[in-house]
């Protein structure tokens, strides 16, 4: 029934009014009204993954003789439209809803059914009986969580990590012979090359990429076919395998039916594990970004050992000031991911009996972390890392002034004598060489030979 650009529906709970232009139905509208909480809505990658699940379910149900060809093809067509982003505005529900995600499942079911029926101008497809055939929220939501996580990581995060590693490799090669001061405990240490320092950063990201790839494997197992509690009630035995096969075929990514649906419904350990890999990546990204902004500090009152691109003005009051804004953005992202990891970990521990009822918040935080890391690392790579320049003269000057060079004397004159030289140089504000010669512990020729920085790296 339509009234002044509104659709009025009645169900067992009473009357519901929906804007006439909207494609959702009663259950979606009730969720909008009952959970008007926060600004966080269900992530679109999850919605698009849900459309893949519904498309695969429609095709599987037809092949199993459960759904007519006409219904199956129309459902699949609308799912394809959802995958293009055409209907993104029809999925407005809050993350803060039922912990199983039932309202989001019904949002997807209702939009698909209503779009089919609107196209045909007849009530051919039912959201529960047809679009949700052989399914439950309890198996489709975790399936969509896994599919969206795998696709977002493969399509967005891993390519960024590849480019980030390539930039670091170029810097490592370029500065492999550029000597600088090493630092431990934020204090002067023995010399290294800037290329060696960068190689440490590169290894971090290479290893993080391997960790993320390893974490994809448990995510490839899908709970589809388990229906309400894992027994597969009301669905054919072959259904889950067919759905996983179709999703694999259409995405080009490998997915498999889980061998234990009780585990697939009740446990979110695959996402907890995968987010742990993201958390490790965030920890290393934080370290790299902080190293770079320390090394770029100054330019005259800090270390000033590297120069980073000046992308914008850094101050509203101090003309010419340039701040390490890309590093600041990335490190803020890292703190958000670390916070998300706590949320995912706690929520993942709450799989009471046959169902984890914290799935929307797990999915929201997981997908947010993937997006933030992918986009943050891409921005940092393009606008900071790739334009980084070493101030080689400054690096060499800092090494030559460092008292840490005395370490190279220890094998020749002993730790205690070397310590005497360092303490005298520091106390009298003189050079190591002058202190060593005054103490008559080495000759000038010996000192120069022992403290040759190129031999110390």
Instruction: Kindly list the catalytic residues.
Output: 185, 315
Taking CA 371 as the corner, what is the angle to CA 160 and CA 85, rounded to the nearest 5 degrees? 105
Report the chain's C-alpha Rg in angstroms.
30
Taking CA 257 as the corner, what is the angle to CA 256 and CA 260, rounded to the nearest 5 degrees? 130
Q: Which 3 state secondary structure label does DSSP give 178?
A: coil
Q: CB-based contacts of 5: which residues, under 8 Å, 6+ apart?
A: 19, 20, 21
**In the block, residue with structure tokens 């060489």:** 433
Tokens for 352, please give them: 């009471």
DSSP 257-297: E-S-HHHHHH--HHHHHHHHHHHHHHHHHHHHHHHHHHHT-
CA 429 – CA 423 distance, rounded (Å): 10
Tokens for 213, please give them: 């790839």
Kindly give the pairing relationship between strand 221-222 and strand 256-257.
Answer: parallel
Task: Give the count of beta carbons closer than 10 Å to the beta carbon of residue 356.
Answer: 24
How many angstroms separate the Cα of 74 from the Cα of each of 116, 251, 271, 290, 437? 6, 20, 33, 53, 90
Overall size of the chain counted in residues: 457
Q: What is the DSSP letter of 403?
A: G
CA 254 – CA 147 distance, rounded (Å): 10
Q: What are phi and psi of 9, to 5 degrees?
A: -120, 150
Q: Are 252 and 66 in contact (CB under 8 A)?
A: no
């Amino acid at each position: 029934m339509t009234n002044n650009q509104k659709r009025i529906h009645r169900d067992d709970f009473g009357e519901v009014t929906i804007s006439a232009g909207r494609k959702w139905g009663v259950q979606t509208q009730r969720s909008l009204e009952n959970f008007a909480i926060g600004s966080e809505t269900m992530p679109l990658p999850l919605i698009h993954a849900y459309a893949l699940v519904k498309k695969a379910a429609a095709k599987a149900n037809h092949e199993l003789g459960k759904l007519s060809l006409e219904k199956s093809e129309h459902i699949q067509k609308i799912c394809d439209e959802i995958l293009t982003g055409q209907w993104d505005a029809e999925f407005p529900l809050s993350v803060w809803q039922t912990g199983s995600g039932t309202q989001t499942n019904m949002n997807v079911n209702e939009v698909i059914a209503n779009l089919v029926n609107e196209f045909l101008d007849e009530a051919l497809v039912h959201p529960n009986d047809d679009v949700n055939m052989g399914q439950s929220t309890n198996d489709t939501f975790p399936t969509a969580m896994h599919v969206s996580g795998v696709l977002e990581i493969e399509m967005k995060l891993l390519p960024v990590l590849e480019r980030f590693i390539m930039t670091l490799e170029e810097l490592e090669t370029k500065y492999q012979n550029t000597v600088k001061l090493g630092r431990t405990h934020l204090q002067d240490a023995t010399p290294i090359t800037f290329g060696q320092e960068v190689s440490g950063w590169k290894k971090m990201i290479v290893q993080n990429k391997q960790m993320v790839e390893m974490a994809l494997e448990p995510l490839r197992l899908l709970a589809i076919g388990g229906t309400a509690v894992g027994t597969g009630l009301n669905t054919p035995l072959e259904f889950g395998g067919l759905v996983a096969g179709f999703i694999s075929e259409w995405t080009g990514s490998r997915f498999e039916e889980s061998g234990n649906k009780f585990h697939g419904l009740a446990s979110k350990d695959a996402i907890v594990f995968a987010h742990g890999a993201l958390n490790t990546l965030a920890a290393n990204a934080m370290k790299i970004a902080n190293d770079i902004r320390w090394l770029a500090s100054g330019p005259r009152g800090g270390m000033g050992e590297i120069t980073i691109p000046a992308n914008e003005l850094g101050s509203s009051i101090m003309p010419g000031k340039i701040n390490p804004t890309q590093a600041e953005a990335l490190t803020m992202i890292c703190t958000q991911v670390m916070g998300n990891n706590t949320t995912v970990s706690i929520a993942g521990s709450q799989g009471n009996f046959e169902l984890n009822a914290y799935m929307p918040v797990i999915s929201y935080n997981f997908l947010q972390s993937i997006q933030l890391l992918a986009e943050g690392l891409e921005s940092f790579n393009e606008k900071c890392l790739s334009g980084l320049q070493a101030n080689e003269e400054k690096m060499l000057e800092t090494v030559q002034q460092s008292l840490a060079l005395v370490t190279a004397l220890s094998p020749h004159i002993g730790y205690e004598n070397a310590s005497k030289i360092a303490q005298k140089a520091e106390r009298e504000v003189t050079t190591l060489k002058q202190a060593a010669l005054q103490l008559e512990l080495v000759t000038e020729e010996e000192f120069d030979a022992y403290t040759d920085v190129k031999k110390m790296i």
